[in-house]
Amino acid sequence: MKIIYKRSLTFIGFLIAICGFIGIAYLFYDKVINSGTEVVVVDDLSINYIDSNTISHDGTYTFSVTNSGSKDIYYEITYDELKRFNHDIIYEITSKEADIKITNTNIDENNNILADNILIKAGVTHNYTFKITNINNTAFKLKINKVNELEEYFASTIINDNEIKEKPSTKVGTNIATTNEGLIEDIDDYGLTYYFRGNVPNNYVEFAGTSWRIVRINGNGTVKLILNKLSNELTNYNSTFKDLENYEKLTINESLNSFYESTLTNYDNYILTSKFCVENAGSGSNINKTYNANSRLVSNKIPTFNCLGESYSSKIGLITADEVVYAGANFEDDNTSYYLYNKDINNVWWTSNLSKTKDGNYYPFAVNSSGKIIDSTSGNLYRGLRPVINIIKKVTVTGDGTIDNPYKINEK
Contact of 257 with 309, CB cutoff 8 Å: no
Instruction: Say what percent of the chain tops pLDDT 70.
Output: 91
Give CA angle at 394 (388, 397), nearest 5°. Answer: 75
Strands 180-187 and 164-165, bridge-based pairing? parallel
Tens digit of each residue's pLDDT (9 = 90 or more) over 169-186: 999 999 999 999 999 999
Mean pLDDT lowest among 36-50, 119-133, 275-289: 275-289
Domains of the chain: 38-147 (2.60.40), 156-409 (no CATH)
**Closest CA relative to residue 183, chosen from 204, 158, 205, 206:** 158
The pTM assigned to this predicted structure is 0.75
Pairing of strands 73-83, 100-106: unpaired
Q: Which residues, other chains included, contact 405 with Cβ-Cβ below 8 Å and sequence gap of 6+?
A: 399
The pLDDT of residue 388 is: 98
282-284 β-sheet, strand order? 282-284, 288-291, 349-358, 361-367, 373-374
d(CA 259, CA 253): 10
- Give pLDDT, residue 150: 60
Cα(178)–Cα(170) distance, integer angstroms = 9
pLDDT value for 280: 76
Name the most confidently modeled range: 138-147, 333-342, 390-399. Answer: 333-342
Does 279 have pLDDT greater than 90? Answer: no
282 vs 163, which has greater pLDDT?
163
pLDDT band at 36 (very low <50, low <70, confident <90, very high): low
Give SS3 for 257. Answer: helix
Report DSSP state, residue 158: H
Instruction: Give the best-scoring range by mean pLDDT among 38-47, 76-85, 196-205.
Output: 196-205
| Position with higher pLDDT, 399 vs 278 | 399
Specify the pLDDT at position 27: 37
In angstroms, the CA 373 to CA 341 distance is 11
Q: Give the Cα separation of 185 and 176 in Å (integer).
A: 18
Please name the residues in contact with 198: beta carbons below 8 A apart, sequence gap of 6 or more.
Answer: 168, 170, 177, 178, 179, 180, 181, 182, 327, 328, 337, 338, 339
Average pLDDT on 12-22 reads: 46
Query: How many angstroms from the chain centroid is the CA of residue 255?
Result: 23
Q: What is the largest CA-CA distance in the chain?
A: 107
d(CA 239, CA 252): 9
pLDDT at 286 over 90: no
Mean pLDDT of all residues in 323-345: 98
The string of pLDDT tens digits covering residues 298-332 is 999 999 999 988 888 899 999 999 999 999 999 99
Residue 375 has pLDDT above 80, yes or no: yes
Compute the mean pLDDT over every residue in the chain, rounded to the nearest whole number.
88
According to DSSP, the residues that pair with 133 across neighbouring strands are 90
214-269: per-residue pLDDT in tens? 999 998 889 999 999 999 999 999 988 877 888 888 999 999 999 999 999 999 99
Q: Give the span between the Cα atoms of 312 and 247, in whole angstroms.
A: 8
pLDDT in tens, 130-170: 999 999 889 999 999 988 766 789 999 999 999 999 999 99
Q: How many other CB atoms sit within 10 Å of the CB of residue 51?
A: 18
- CA distances to 129, 160, 186, 369 from 189, in Å: 17, 23, 11, 30
**Would you tell me how many other CB atoms lie within 10 Å of the CB of residue 194?**
22
